[in-house]
């Protein structure tokens, strides 16, 4: 707004009116792209925090009675934490291309494309981490009953991870190729 | 932001505790123990009574009951969730207090009252002594007043018991219906069905008429009190035939067999109905089911130990063997 105002004062209103859409276009591009970065980090991170929190509460319940299972339940608790890392990874790649950590600021159209590219890992990350957390809780219960089932117990929540990985691939490939 | 309690920690801890419950194989082994002392040692080896296990069987069983409720108090401090399971103790104490005051008995309170109810037994006794019903919940105060009046007028202790038992069942059904978890409703309904049938048959045997019997029973979903009363007047087999037409048909063959087989079938039905809780998480159901399973297990062990002490043969004891939750 400051740029538009000084342009209007120095060159007159008609010139400012011509320059306004171009300036707005440039600025909106980075806004859209940063919105995508924020969503990828926030939603995937929130999902992971919820999932790991659920796993942690179940792990604490088991460890109260069977402290010897610490290493095994810790792995199950941490499984839903990966979505947050995926979100962060996509965010870093995007930041490196939109003029924050490198590259140059995108125009509005490209900014919107960055936003769209970040959405898969943002939403799939959020939901898959919560559901992976629930599956981890069930697997911790399974482990509590029979510690020998650790391999099977770990595979069940790991299956949910598949969909987070697919979303990560789509987001990262799109962001990298814009 | 108010987060709804999710019971993840509590359920996970209960999952571990469930591994300590006696399995079908454990019950078989207990049954096969050659003597009372050997059966007691088997339980101690399983960790019953803790490191300083009492030598007396009753003390051992009471220690296990206390350990279960202590665990629940630790997991759900001051939570009303399990009050439905505690209600029967309140009414047991109420019955004791009504009779103690009527007979002016100087018996030791420890022998008459049980702890672990929702209301301290001393408070129940004080409310009756001071004739201050406001100290008790409304339904309990009403039942106490009615039972006291009947006892003073007729001196009939059995009638007093019937009034209080009926009030206890009504309170249990109401609490089950309003409870946070549907498992408690299952518990209340199976308990009430079992009590209704036993009460109807007992009353019919003692020569009470149909109208009186019907008044003694409580409404339970799935049971028609008029049909049940009519069947009770025609004997146990008629009740069994009637039961076969209700949602509790699985209890009918056991009722045909004997009353003890029927009681065993009721406990088994309850265990079957709560068994899905073994696979639930994030809900209070597994906690409630664990307490029910534990009480059922202790009841079964008490029967087996008492049978062993009295030298009953294995085939007789086997009849009282309940299904294991795990």
Residue B249: inside a domain: yes
Residues B158 and B93 in one domain: yes
Query: Cβ–Cβ contacts within 10 Å for residue A137, how many?
Result: 30
Q: Would you state the pLDDT for residue A20?
A: 62
* Residue position matching structure tokens 């941490």: A78
- Mean per-residue pLDDT over chain B, rounded: 87
Select the more confidently predicted residue: A88 or B235.
A88
> In the predicted model, is pLDDT for residue A49 greater than 90?
yes
A64 chain-B contacts, CB cut-off 8 A: 13, 16
CB–CB contact A57 B9 (8 Å)? yes
Position with higher pLDDT, A159 vs B207: A159
ipTM of the complex as predicted: 0.78
What residues in A contact B281, CB-CB < 8 Å? 58, 134, 137-138, 141
Render pLDDT for B188-217 as a digit per residue (tens, 0 to 9): 999 999 999 988 888 888 888 888 888 888
Say which CATH architecture domain A30-177 belongs to.
Up-down Bundle (1.20)
- In this prediction, residue A1 carries a pLDDT of 41
Give CA–CA dist B227/A165, Å, rounded.
63
> Does any domain span residue B196?
yes
Taking contacts as CB-CB distances below 8 angstroms, the residues of chain A near B13 are 61-62, 64-65
d(CA B60, CA B49): 5
The answer to whether residue B95 is domain-embedded is yes
Same domain flag for B15 and B35:
yes
Asked whether residue B47 carries a pLDDT value surpassing 80, the answer given is yes
- Considering A103-107, A111-115, B120-124, B168-172, the range whose residues carry the highest mean pLDDT is A111-115
CA distance B22 to B18: 9
Please compute Rg for chain B using Cα positions.
21
Q: Determine, yes or no, domain membership for B274.
A: no
Question: Which chain B residues are within 8 Å of A144, Cβ to Cβ?
Answer: 12, 15-16, 19
Model confidence at A2, pLDDT cuts 50, 70, 90, reads: very low
> CA B39 → CA B27, B45, B51, B54, B300, distances in Å?
10, 10, 17, 14, 13
Q: What is the pLDDT of residue A175?
A: 95
Q: B106: domain CATH number?
A: 1.20.1690
Concatenate the DSSP letters of all residues of chain A into one string: -HHHHHHHHHH-HHHHHHHHHHHHHHHHHHHHHHHHHHHHHHHHHHHHHHHHHHHHHHHHHHHHH-GGGHHHHHHHHHGGGHHHHHHHHHHHHHHTTBTSSSB----HHHHHHHHHHHHHHHHHHHHHHHHHHHHHHHHHHHHHH-GGGHHHHHHHHHHHHHHHHHHHHHHHHHHHH-
Q: Is the pLDDT of residue B54 over 90?
A: no
Give pLDDT, residue B117: 84
Least confident of B75-84, B97-106, B175-184: B97-106
Q: What confidence tens digit (pLDDT) does each residue in B236-293 have?
A: 889 899 989 999 999 999 998 888 889 999 999 999 999 999 998 889 999 999 999 9
Inter-chain CB pairs, A–B, below 8 Å:
54
**Nearest by Cα to B194 from B117, B248, B256:** B248
Instruction: Give pLDDT tens digits for B85-122.
Output: 888 889 998 888 888 888 776 666 667 788 888 888 88
| Token code pair at residue A4 | 């538009």
pLDDT of A19 reads 60
Enumerate residues 103 to 162 of chain A having a beta carbon within 8 A of any beta carbon in chain B. Answer: 134, 137-138, 140-141, 144-145
* pLDDT average, residue stretch A32-60: 96
HEC profile of chain B: CCCCCCCHHHHHHHHHHHCCCCCHHHHHHHHHCCCHHHHHHHHHHCCCCCCCCCCCHHHHHHHHHHHHHHHHHHHCCCCHHHHHHHHHHHHHHHHHHHHHHHHCCCCCHHHHCCCCCCCCHHHHHHHHHCCCHHHCCHHHHHHHHHHHHHHHHHCCHHHHHHHHHHHHHHHHHHHHHHCCCHHHHHHHHHHHHHHHHHHHHHHHHCCCCHHHHHHHCCCCCCCCHHHHHHHHHCCHHHHHHHHCCCCCHHHHHHHHHCHHHHHHHHHHHHHHHHHHHHHCCCCCHHHHHHHHHHHHHHHHHHHHHHHHHCCCCHHHHHHCCCCCCC
| Res A23: pLDDT | 64
At A8 the pLDDT is 45
Interchain CB distance below 8 Å, A58 and B18:
no
- Residue B154 neighbours by CB distance under 10 Å: 11
Whether residue A167 lies within 8 A of chain B, CB to CB, comes out as: no
* B125 and B39 belong to one structural domain: no
pLDDT, average across residues B71-79: 88
What is the per-residue pLDDT for A4? Answer: 42
pLDDT for A131 equals 96
Across the interface, which of A65, A134, A138 has its CB nearest the CB of B17? A65
Of B13, B14, B282, the CB nearest to A137: B282
Task: Tell me what percent of the residues of chain B surpass a pLDDT of 90.
Answer: 32
CATH code: domain of residue B295: 1.10.132.50
Domain end residue (candidates: B227, B259, B291):
B259
Residue B163 lies in a domain: yes
Q: Is residue B230 part of a domain?
A: yes
What pLDDT, on a 0 to 100 scale, did the predictor assign at position A5? 42
Q: In this predicted structure, what is the pLDDT of residue B322?
A: 86
- Supply the pLDDT for residue B125: 84
C-alpha span between A155 and A136 (Å, rounded) = 10
Where in the sequence is the domain holding B24, given as residue range(s)?
Answer: 1-75+280-326
Specify whether B141 is located in the same domain as B94.
yes
How many structural domains are present in chain B? 3
Question: A140 near A77, Cβ under 8 Å?
Answer: yes
Q: How many CB atoms lie within 10 A of CB B24?
A: 12
pLDDT attached to residue B314: 83
Distance between CA atoms of residues B232 and B201, nearest Å: 5
B162 Cα to chain A: minimum distance (Å) = 43
Neighbouring C-beta atoms of residue B34, cutoff 10 Å = 9
* Predicted pLDDT of residue B153: 86
Q: Does B253 lie in the same domain as B198?
A: yes
Interchain CB distance below 8 Å, A62 and B15: yes
Whether B265 is covered by a domain: the verdict is no
Structure confidence at residue A15 (pLDDT): 58
Average pLDDT over residues B29-42: 89
Does B87 share its domain with B137? yes
Last residue of a domain, one of B122, B152, B177: B177
What residue segments make up the domains of chain A, in order of their start?
A: 30-177
Residue B232 domain flag: yes
Chain-chain contact of B9 with A60 (C-beta, under 8 angstroms):
yes
Structure tokens at A140: 């911790």
> Residue B8's closest chain A neighbor by CA?
A58
Residue A61 to chain B, least CA–CA distance (Å): 4
């Amino acid at each position: 707004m400051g740029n538009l105002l000084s342009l209007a004062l120095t060159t007159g209103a008609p010139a400012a009116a011509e320059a306004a859409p171009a300036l707005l276009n440039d600025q909106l591009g980075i806004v859209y792209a940063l919105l995508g970065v924020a969503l990828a980090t926030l939603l995937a991170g929130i999902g992971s925090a919820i999932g790991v929190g659920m796993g942690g509460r179940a792990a604490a319940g088991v460890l109260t009675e069977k402290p010897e299972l610490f290493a095994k339940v810790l792995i199950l608790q941490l499984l839903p934490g990966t979505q947050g890392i995926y979100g962060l990874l996509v965010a870093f790649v995007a930041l490196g291309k939109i003029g924050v950590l490198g590259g140059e600021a995108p125009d509005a159209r490209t900014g919107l494309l960055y936003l769209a590219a970040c959405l898969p890992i943002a939403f799939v990350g959020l939901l898959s981490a919560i559901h992976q957390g629930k599956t981890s809780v069930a697997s911790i219960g399974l482990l509590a009953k029979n510690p020998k089932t650790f391999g099977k117990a770990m595979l069940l929540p790991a299956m949910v991870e598949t969909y987070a990985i697919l979303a990560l691939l789509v987001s990262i490939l799109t962001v990298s190729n814009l | 932001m108010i987060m709804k309690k999710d019971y993840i920690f509590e359920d996970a801890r209960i999952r571990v505790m469930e591994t300590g419950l006696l399995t079908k194989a454990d019950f078989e082994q207990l049954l096969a123990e050659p003597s009372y002392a050997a059966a007691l040692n088997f339980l101690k080896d399983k960790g019953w009574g803790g490191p300083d296990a009492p030598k007396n069987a009753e003390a051992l069983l009471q220690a296990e009951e206390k350990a279960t409720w202590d665990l629940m108090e630790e997991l759900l401090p001051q939570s009303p969730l399990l009050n439905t399971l505690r209600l029967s103790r309140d009414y047991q104490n109420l019955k004791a207090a009504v009779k103690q005051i009527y007979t002016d008995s100087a018996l030791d309170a420890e022998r008459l009252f049980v702890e672990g109810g929702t209301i301290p037994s001393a408070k129940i006794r004080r409310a009756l002594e001071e004739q201050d019903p406001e100290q008790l919940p409304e339904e309990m105060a009403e039942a106490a007043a009615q039972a006291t009046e009947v006892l003073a007028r007729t001196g009939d202790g059995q009638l007093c018991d019937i009034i209080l038992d009926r009030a206890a069942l009504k309170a249990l059904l109401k609490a089950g219906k309003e409870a946070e978890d549907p498992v408690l409703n299952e518990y209340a309904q199976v308990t009430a069905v079992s009590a209704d049938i036993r009460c109807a048959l007992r009353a019919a045997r003692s020569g009470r008429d149909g109208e009186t019997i019907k008044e003694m029973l409580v409404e339970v979903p799935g049971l028609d009190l008029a049909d049940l009363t009519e069947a009770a007047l025609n004997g146990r087999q008629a009740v069994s035939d009637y039961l076969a037409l209700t949602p509790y048909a699985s209890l009918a063959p056991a009722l045909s067999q004997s009353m003890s087989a029927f009681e065993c079938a009721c406990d088994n039905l309850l265990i079957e109905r709560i068994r899905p809780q073994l696979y639930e998480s994030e809900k209070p159901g597994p906690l409630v089911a664990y307490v029910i399973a534990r009480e059922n297990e202790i009841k079964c062990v008490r029967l087996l130990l008492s049978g062993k002490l009295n030298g009953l043969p294995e085939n007789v004891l086997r009849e009282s063997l309940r299904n294991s939750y795990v």
